[in-house]
Homo-oligomer: A and B are copies of this chain.
Amino acid sequence: MFSKSEYERRLKGFQAILAQQEIEGALLVQRADTLYFTGTAQNLHLYIPRTGKPLLLVYRNMERVLAESPWEAFPLTGMSKLPELIMEHGHPLPKVMGLEYDVLPVANYLRYEKLFSQTKLMDISYPLRLFRAVKSAEEIARLEENGRVYAQLLEYASTVLRPGMTEIELEGLLEAKARTLGHETMLRTRAFGFEFHFGGVVAGPQGAISGYFDGPVTGLGASYAHPLGPSHSPIQAGDMVMMDLVIAQEGYQADATRMLVIGEPSQKMAEAYQLSCEIQERARLALIPGRKTGDVYAELVDWVERETPYAGNFMGYGQNRVRFIGHGVGLELDELPTISKGAQEILAPGMTIAVEPKFIFPGEGAVGVEDTLVIEGEKGARFLTHAPKSILRV
């Protein structure tokens, strides 16, 4: 858990945004958001007024909320009680109230619309996500812990990987091991329909199978019903094995990728992997405060097109190319900012971003590196995940 001053910092920062946007209060219900402000992941409605203390209205479980959160909390017996509870605690009914339009289901929204019939509702999700993108030293330290787990898992992977093992089997062993190292199994994503679990351990040609997943490497998946990530296909000697994993502790998630191979990589794959590492280093140096993320993306893609022989394979090929190189990561796997085509976000110290330049070769597979970095100063971003960058030969 974090210090009370950390939660106070978060509250004040968000209240400044409410003031700026002339919103009198925000009603938050999504778990990552409420956890961020309250320090508890129990079921509650969180009303954050423009000034004063946050109002925690708890469905379940009050006992845990009181043990975990630095704030006072009150029971909520039904949604219809929300307006009167807000007033009872000294707040006027807001003229304008912010909601999380990007995640809130329509059914819930329509109920709020009726309950707060005199209130103008508006979307607070983008400024809230942008605010959460900048992490404190305490949050960054937690992300860095996950980097240590990843490094241990990479070492472990090299001891269990053997030909004939399926992708899904290898990922299962890695996850079981990760749990003994502190990883907490459940992950959080934000975008509607974004389903993901632990990682993309994909090998050989499966690395180049395209799909709906909004990333460079989709994988075949366990079945047509879950068509991404590891599959029941066996790993062969010579396959490039991508170990893309998300490690979580206390809700904070870091994302990293390294490559393994049984035997030796082909010259082409080894070369493309080296290029990934070079692009990542160029990205690291370019990720400095004040720069626009879309500009960093364009600059890196330009370099790939000018200087490498595999521009047509960078982040996918043909129709299936994705137009980003990095994504924010923290309490959710798809946080702001993204280092993507046309993105307008301005980099700021404390933003944490997974940078994952990858090359995909149809019929052959995928190679690439990924690390979670934090934006710091003029000298470039700093790695939060650390593991040897050479291809691990087994």
Give chain A's interface residues, CB within 8 Å of chain B: 1, 29-31, 35, 39-43, 59-61, 63-64, 68, 99, 101-110, 123, 125, 166, 168-169, 171-173, 175-180, 182, 184-186, 188, 192-193, 195-198, 210-212, 218, 221-227, 229-230, 232, 248-252, 320, 331
Given the known interface contacts A109-B109, A186-B229, the answer about A39 and B224 at a Cβ–Cβ threshold of 8 Å is yes
Q: Which residues of B contact A176 (CB under 8 A)?
A: 169, 172-173, 175-176
Q: Which residues of B contact A212 (CB under 8 A)?
A: 41-43, 59-61, 64
B104 touches A105 (CB 8 A): yes
A108 touches B192 (CB 8 A): yes
Q: Which residues of B contact A331 (CB under 8 A)?
A: 225
Q: Which residues of B contact A101 (CB under 8 A)?
A: 105-107, 110
Given the known interface contacts A106-B99, A108-B192, A168-B185, the answer about A223 and B211 at a Cβ–Cβ threshold of 8 Å is no
Q: Which residues of B contact A102 (CB under 8 A)?
A: 105-107
Shortest C-beta distance, A67 to chain B (Å), equals 8
B211 touches A224 (CB 8 A): no
Given the known interface contacts A61-B320, A197-B186, A222-B184, the answer about A42 and B229 at a Cβ–Cβ threshold of 8 Å is no
Given the known interface contacts A224-B250, A225-B184, the answer about A197 and B195 at a Cβ–Cβ threshold of 8 Å is no
A193 touches B123 (CB 8 A): no
Question: Oligomeric state, in number of copies?
Answer: 2
- Point out the residue from B59, B106, B227 that lies within 8 Å of A106, measured CB to CB: B106
Jot down 23 A-B pairs with beta carbons below 8 A, ordered by A: A41-B226, A42-B227, A59-B212, A60-B211, A104-B106, A104-B192, A107-B125, A108-B192, A109-B109, A171-B179, A173-B176, A184-B222, A184-B223, A184-B225, A185-B230, A186-B195, A188-B195, A197-B197, A223-B249, A223-B251, A225-B248, A225-B250, A225-B252
